[in-house]
Amino acid sequence: MAGRGKTPAITPELLLKAYASGIFPMAEASDDPQIFWVDPTERGILPLDGLHLPRSLKKVIRKAPFTVRVDTAFAAVVDGCAEPAPGREKTWINRQIRDLYLALYKEGFAHSVECWEGEALVGGLYGVSINGAFFGESMFSRKTDASKIALAFLSERLIRGGYLLLDTQFITSHLARFGAVEIERDEYHALLGQALSVAATFYPAGAGTAESVLQLFSQTS
């Protein structure tokens, strides 16, 4: 269950304070102009010290089917996450949410990981970064495994960059394959406090290639 509260138009600065307090915004639907705050009693996270990269995905990454880029098409990634897809006919990304995350991106607090096939954007994800915490917002795929590869590349970047928290908000079967778990709100807030107290970089040296991802996860099953 999640606590909700309707809110008027918010600023990027207020949004950052909300994340640092353990809450995040959603809309009922993409055409709903209202935003409400969410504070789940159980929070999904991907433990960066116990992340699992499935063997089948390692094989796909080794073949390098896509070019993976960072922060080159942030708005297009948000739009990809907002578009209907099989099993996801409606999304929670409305115009106000889109504008807020674009503003955070321009200020250096939001990032995208993108999978490209030639000149076509075929999948990716985006989220918010504050110190050693990364708050994953949404992901999408137009080609098989594109979002999974984006998540693997994101995880490598966060681990090498010194992050302590990868917040997934909720758990899906897709995320569970990587080792995502649910923790109680109090435990989440304690972990969030630790993550916010450390410095981290989203651009660590040596990250972002198929070889570097596979090397990092070479000890996982």
SS (H, E, C) the chain: CEEEEEECCCCHHHHHHHHHCCCEEECCCCCCCCEEEEEECEEEECCCCCCCCCHHHHHHHHHCCCEEEECCCHHHHHHHHHCCECCECCCCCCHHHHHHHHHHHHCCCEEEEEEEECCEEEEEEEEEEECCEEEEEEEEECCCCHHHHHHHHHHHHHHHHCCCEEEEECCCHHHHCCCCEEEEHHHHHHHHHHHHCCCCCCCCCCCCCHHHHHHHCCCCC
**Residue 165 has which token pair?**
């928290």
213, 148 contact by CB (below 8 A)? no
pTM, entire model = 0.91
Q: Which two tokens stand for residue 162?
A: 């010194």
CA 76 to each of CA 52, 59, 157: distance values in angstroms, whole numbers, following the listed order = 28, 28, 21
Distant-in-sequence, close-in-space partners of 3: CB < 8 Å, separation ≥ 6? 37, 38, 39
Domains annotated on the chain, with CATH: 43-90+107-216 (3.40.630.70)
Question: Tens-digit pLDDT profile for the chain (221 aa)?
Answer: 344 444 456 899 999 999 999 999 887 766 666 788 989 899 999 999 888 899 999 999 999 999 999 999 999 999 999 887 666 556 767 888 899 999 999 999 999 999 999 999 999 999 999 999 999 999 999 999 999 999 999 999 999 999 999 999 989 888 988 999 999 999 999 999 999 999 999 999 999 999 999 999 986 54
